[in-house]
Amino acid sequence: MVVNVLCAYDRDMSALEQAYQHCQCVTAAHYENFPVASHLLPKKLRRPISVIYTFARSADDFADEGDFSKAQRHEKLDDYSAKLNTIENAGAINDPVFIALADVIKKHALPLSLFHDLLTAFKMDVDKTRFADFAEILNYCHYSANPVGRLLLHLNNTASPQNLIQSDAVCSALQLINFYQDLQQDYQENDRIYLPQDEMQQFKVSEHHLQQTCSDAAMQALMDLQLQRATALLQKGHSLGNRQTGRFGLELRMMIHGGAHVLASLREHRGNVFRRPRLSKSAILQIAFKALFRISV
C-alpha cells in the first residue's frame, strides 16, 4: 500500500519539495504498475504524473486493499473528496499528496472534476461487483479510465475537443482490455465480473464458467462480442497517437499498439479465454516499431 512506502527527506527541503519527493518515491516503489511514467515521456511531465499516480494509487488502495469495512473505505474516499474541495477553495492542507497535487493542478490548470471522477470510480469499486449491461461498464470506464487520458492531454497542452473524444475511446478500450485479460483474477480475488449480465444470460454463460475457467463455445461467443467492441473503440481513437508529437506521442502510440497486441492475443486464445497474454521481447519490439513509424492498429 502507498501508506507503507517510506521516503527519506532532506531537512532543508520545503514542504512542497518534500511532497513531490514523496510522490516520486511512491511511483518508484510501484513502477511496474505505472507504465506511463516510463522514460519515453518528456522529463517535464514525469513529476506531475507521479503526483497524479500517487493520488490515484492511494485512493485505489482505500477501495481495495487492507481489512477496512465498506464504511471505512467510503470514509477515506470521502476525505479525499473533501481535500479536493479544499484545493478548490485554496485552503491549507497538511497531506503531502494533496500539497503536491494542489501545485500540479494550479500550474497546469487541470480540471478538478477529473479527480472527482476518479474518486467516483473508486467508490463504485467498494460497492459494485456486477454490471447489468455494457452501458454500465462503459459508464464505469468514464470515471475510472477516461479521466487519466484527459489529464495527460491537459498536461501536454493538447486537450482539444477532438483529442479528448479520441482519448476517451482509447482509455475505455484499454480498460476493457485489462478487464478481459484478468477475468479470472478479478473474479477470484475481488468477486468482480466485468461482463454484461444481460449478455451472459443471452449467451448462456454463468458464474460457473468463471469458477471453473470453462472456455466452451458459449463463453467464446460472449468474449468475441466483447473483443469486437474493444477493438472498435481502439480503432476509433488510434489516430490520436499519430497527431501527438515527440516523446508524449511515442508513449501514447506504444500504449495503443500494446493494447492492440493484447487484443490479438486474446483472439488467438479462443480455446482458453482465461489464458492471460504475455508480452514477449519480440512482441515489445514489434510494438515499438509500429509506434515509432506510426503504423495504424
* Positions in the chain short of pLDDT 50: 32-37
- Cα-based distances in Å from 41 to 81, 110, 242: 29, 19, 15
pTM here?
0.93
Question: What backbone phi and psi angles, to 5 degrees, belong to 196?
Answer: -65, 125
Give the whole-angstrom CA distance, residue 147 versus residue 111.
Answer: 10
Q: Which DSSP letter does residue 159 get?
A: -
Q: Which helix (H) or strand (E) holds 127?
A: helix 112-127
CB 147 within 8 A of CB 114: yes
How many other C-beta atoms lie within 10 A of the C-beta of residue 1? 14
Whose grid coordinates read 468514464?
A: 142
Q: Which pLDDT score, from 0 to 100, does residue 31 have?
A: 56
Using one digit for the tens of pLDDT, what is the confidence trace for 267-287?
Answer: 988 757 888 888 888 888 899
Using one digit for the tens of pLDDT, what is the confidence trace for 77-125?
Answer: 999 999 999 999 999 899 999 999 999 999 999 999 999 999 999 999 9
Q: Which pLDDT score, from 0 to 100, does residue 11 have?
A: 66
Q: Which pLDDT score, from 0 to 100, does residue 38 have?
A: 62
Q: How many residues does the chain have?
A: 297
Q: Identity (one letter) of the amino acid at 187?
A: Y
Alpha helices in the chain (DSSP H): 15-29, 43-64, 70-88, 96-108, 112-127, 134-144, 146-155, 161-181, 183-190, 197-202, 207-211, 217-237, 239-243, 246-268, 281-292
Q: Which pLDDT score, from 0 to 100, does residue 36 have?
A: 41
Strand segments, DSSP code E, in 148-262 are none
How many other C-beta atoms lie within 10 A of the C-beta of residue 150? 21
Give the whole-angstrom CA distance, residue 67 versus residue 170.
Answer: 34
Give the whole-angstrom CA distance, residue 188 versus residue 185.
Answer: 5
Whose grid coordinates read 494550479?
A: 106
Structural domains of the chain, ranges and CATH numbers in brackets: 1-111 (1.10.600.10), 128-297 (1.10.600.10)
Q: Which pLDDT score, from 0 to 100, does residue 88 have?
A: 95
Cell of 20: 513531490
